[in-house]
Structure 1
C-alpha cells in the first residue's frame, strides 16, 4: 500500500488498473494498493457467523436511514470519516452489557451500558417454582446508566431475569437467583 502525495497524474484516477493495482481515496488521501481478490479458503464457522451478523447490521442501518430522527442521532455520534450508516452498523453489531444487578429493599437496580444507548430494560420476577410473579419495564435513573424497577415482592428461592435492549433491538439477558 502506498500513499500518493502531489502527483498530478493520479489526482483524478480512481479504480483498478488491469489486474494489478487499485487506486482509491479515503479521508482525503489517495491510496494505491495491490488488487485484492477473493480468498480461496473455505470460510470458518466464526467467519460465516460474523458475515451473517454484519448482514443483519447492514439491514438495520439501511432502515435507520429512513427515520430522520434516528439518522440525526447516529450522525451526531459520527467522527471524522464516519457517517450515520457507519454508526448504525456499529450499534447493531454489538449488544448492550448488563454490568450489575443489585437489590435495594424491593427495588431492582440494573446497571446497563451500551456504546450508544440502552433503549429499555425489562425485569421479570419468578418464584421458587419458576412461575412468573410479575414483569415490567424499568425506569432510567438520573445518571443515565442505572435502571430502576419497583417489585411488589422478591420471593426467596426465586429469580430475577433482566433483559436490556438497545436501539437496534439487540438484547442481553441476565438472571440472578434470590436468596
Structure 2
C-alpha cells in the first residue's frame, strides 16, 4: 500500500488499473494498493456467524437511519472518515449490558450500559408460582445509568426479569431470584 502525495495525475484517478492496482481515497488521502481478490478458503463457522450478525446489523442500521432525528444523533457521534451509517451499524452490532440489578424497599434499580444509548428497560416481577405480579417500563434516573421501577410487591421465592433494549432494539435479558 502506498500513500500518494502531491501528484497531479493521481488527484483525478480512482478505481482499478489493469486488474492489478486499486486507487482510492480515504480520509482525504489517495491510496494505491494491490488489487485484492476473493479468498479461496472456505469460511469457518465463526466467520459465517459474524457475517450473519453483520448483515442483520446493516439491515437494522438502514431502518434506523430513515428517522432524521436518529440519523442526526449518529452523525453527531461520527469521527473523521465515519458517517451516521457506520455508527448505526456499530450500535446495532452490539447489545446493551445489564451491569447490576438492586432491590431497595419495593423498588427495582437496574444499572444498564450501552456504547451509544439505552432506549428502554422493561421489568417483570413473577411470584414463586410463575404468576406475573407486576410489569412495566422503568424510568431513567438522573445519573443516566440507573433505571427505576416501582413494584407493587416483591414476593419471596419469585424472580425479577429485566429486558434492556438499545436504539436498534437489541435485547439483553437478565434475571434476579428473590429470596
Q: Specify the TM-score bucket, using the shorter chain as the normaliser.
A: over 0.9
Task: Tell me what 1:138 maps to.
Answer: 138
Shift in Å, 1:131: 2.3
Cα distance in 1 for residues equivalent to 2:105 and 2:159? 15
Task: Tell me what 2:50 maps to.
Answer: 50
Task: Tell me what 1:86 maps to.
Answer: 86
Task: Tell me what 1:72 maps to.
Answer: 72
**Contact (CA 8 Å) 2:127, 2:158: kept in 1 or not?**
yes
Cα distance in 2 for residues equivalent to 1:64 and 1:111? 25
- Equivalent residue runs for 1:1-179 within 5 Å: 1-179=1-179
SS in 2 for 1:10: coil
Shift in Å, 1:129: 2.4
Tell me the C-alpha RMSD between the 2 structures. Answer: 1.0
**Contact (CA 8 Å) 2:165, 2:171: kept in 1 or not?**
yes
SS in 2 for 1:66: coil
Question: TM-score when scaled to structure 2?
Answer: 0.96
Higher mean alpha-carbon deviation, 122-131 vs 99-108, is at 122-131
Q: Any runs of at least 4 consecutive aligned residues in structure 1 with deviations exceeding 4 A, and if so which?
A: none
SS in 2 for 1:41: coil
Aligned length: 179
Cα distance in 1 for residues equivalent to 2:28 and 2:108? 50
Gaps of 5+ in 1: none
**Contact (CA 8 Å) 2:138, 2:149: kept in 1 or not?**
yes
SS in 1 for 2:11: coil
Cα distance in 2 for residues equivalent to 1:65 and 1:177? 38
Cα distance in 2 for residues equivalent to 1:163 and 1:65? 24
Question: TM-score when scaled to structure 1?
Answer: 0.96
Cα distance in 2 for residues equivalent to 1:166 and 1:89? 13
